[in-house]
Amino acid sequence: MATEIGRGRFARRAYGLDEVALAPGPLTLDPELVDTSWECAGRRFALPVLAADMDAVVDPSFASAMSKLGALGILNLQGVQTRYERPAEAIEQIVTCSAEKAVPTIQRVYSEPVKDHLILKRIEEMREGAGVVAVSSTPAEAERVAKIIGPGRVDIFVIKATVTTVRHVSNRYQPLSFKSVAAAVGAPIIAGNCVTYEAGLELMQAGVDAVLVGVGPGAQCTSRRVLGIGVPQVTAIADVAAARDEHEEATSKRVPVIADGGMRVGGDISKAIAAGADAVMLGSSLAMAKEAPGRGYQWGMSTGDATLPRGTRIEVGTLGTLREILLGPSSREDGTMNLIGALRLAMACCGAANVREMQKAELVVAPTLLTEGKAHQRQQHVGHGRD
């Protein structure tokens, strides 16, 4: 229901992850009975987690480590990995500069052009790691990059921007054809980002194999402030999930919805899936892994924009190994480690044996969820009181 915000102007109320909670079901399960797997274009993954295509998160070795755990890591083909023969040196400049110089340093580092031979070199390194080879490109470069790669080299191709739509108009270049990209690279296409029912449905109708949902919720992203755009994640996920269900009913093809951004702890992942997501894409949570190339820092890919940076560098610290963050054991009480363990237990409490059943769990509006009865934790900065 829309609320009148001025004469003749109405706005729809939308909800974020901190504003809702899961209601436990009348049936509960042993967490060992829970199946967290999901499927994308005929390929099944044990864990519903994708590592975001950020230079601070994914390099070829990190992508391989994600695959070994049953998850998916995506390498950005417009990042430092394809601009520099020795990308670790570029990352060193970013993580060691002062906070005041972070954005100009990132802009300078990303002013180096992408080199086509490094695209193929990094893909080969990923293939040598014996994992699922998933790479990403901006929409503007997607067709050119797909032709450079050619068929048979990658398993999944991601087309990603702050906002990606089927109906994009430009006088400078031809609109992107998702089918042409898929044919050139010979791999399933994941596309995004979007936050509305209409945009999500049109992407599905255009033939993409999964849709990314989220504009601006990431820890390092400033798009919501700089541009003033975005929809809180719970509403965005639910709206695009409704498009997925309608598309599946009409075509019998299920196009997974991947919640991208805004999830920091296990409870966030549980609520995102209950809102309708089939899987989640994580950035800052995985940047805290010992194996992450950012060494305890994270920055968004739009931070390096030469004219309008929409992100910043943040220090996330290092918590533990990638396995500990995803699968435990956890040494922290704040939900930032053993993310899948938390998801399993939440699904079990809701009586959901798999992801599809978790999407039917009851959600309640609960703005006091994180503060109710937690005065001591907030005062002592533990548990719910951690920043």
Q: For the segment 235-273, what is each residue's pLDDT rounded down to a tens digit?
A: 999 999 999 999 999 999 999 999 999 999 999 999 999
Question: Above 60 in pLDDT, residue 77?
Answer: yes
Q: Which of 214-223, 230-239, 240-249, 279-288 bottoms out in mean pLDDT, i.e. has the lowest?
A: 214-223
Mean pLDDT over residues 96-116, rounded?
Answer: 95
Question: Above 90 in pLDDT, residue 102?
Answer: yes
Question: Above 60 in pLDDT, residue 375?
Answer: no
Mean pLDDT over residues 278-289, rounded?
Answer: 97
pLDDT, position 169: 84
CB-CB contact of 56 with 76 (8 Å): no
pLDDT, position 221: 76
Read off the pLDDT of residues 326-341 as tens digits, 9 standing for 90 and up. 999 998 888 999 999 9
pLDDT, position 211: 98
pLDDT, position 345: 98
pTM of the shown model: 0.94
Secondary structure in 3-state letters for 176-201? CCHHHHHHHHCCCEEEEEECCHHHHH
Question: Above 80 in pLDDT, residue 203?
Answer: yes
Question: Above 90 in pLDDT, residue 120?
Answer: yes
Active site members: 221, 313
pLDDT, position 170: 81
> Going by C-beta distance under 8 Å and a sequence separation of 6 or more, which residues neighbour residue 373?
none
Identify the DSSP state of 131: S
Instruction: Give the pLDDT band (50/70/90) at residue 216.
Output: confident
pLDDT, position 368: 76
CATH number of the domain located at residue range(s) 16-385 in this protein: 3.20.20.70
Pairing relationship of beta strands 20-23 and 189-194 according to DSSP bridges: unpaired
Residue that wins the pLDDT comparison between 384 and 273? 273
pLDDT, position 270: 98
Read off the pLDDT of residues 148-182 as tens digits, 9 standing for 90 and up. 999 999 999 999 998 999 998 888 877 889 999 99
pLDDT, position 130: 87
> Going by C-beta distance under 8 Å and a sequence separation of 6 or more, which residues neighbour residue 287?
54, 56, 57, 294, 296, 297, 298, 316
Mean pLDDT over residues 209-217, rounded?
Answer: 93
CA Rg, the chain, in Å? 20
pLDDT, position 178: 94
Question: Above 80 in pLDDT, residue 30?
Answer: yes
- Give me the long-range contacts of 135-139 (CB less than 8 A, separation at least 24): 135/53, 135/74, 135/75, 135/76, 135/77, 136/53, 136/74, 136/75, 136/76, 136/77, 136/78, 136/160, 137/77, 137/78, 138/78, 139/164, 139/168, 139/176
* Other Cβ atoms closer than 10 A to 386: 15
Instruction: Give the pLDDT band (50/70/90) at residue 379.
Output: low
Question: Above 80 in pLDDT, residue 364?
Answer: yes
pLDDT, position 132: 96
Indicate the average pLDDT of the chain: 93
Pairing relationship of beta strands 49-51 and 279-282 according to DSSP bridges: parallel
Instruction: Give the pLDDT band (50/70/90) at residue 1.
Output: confident
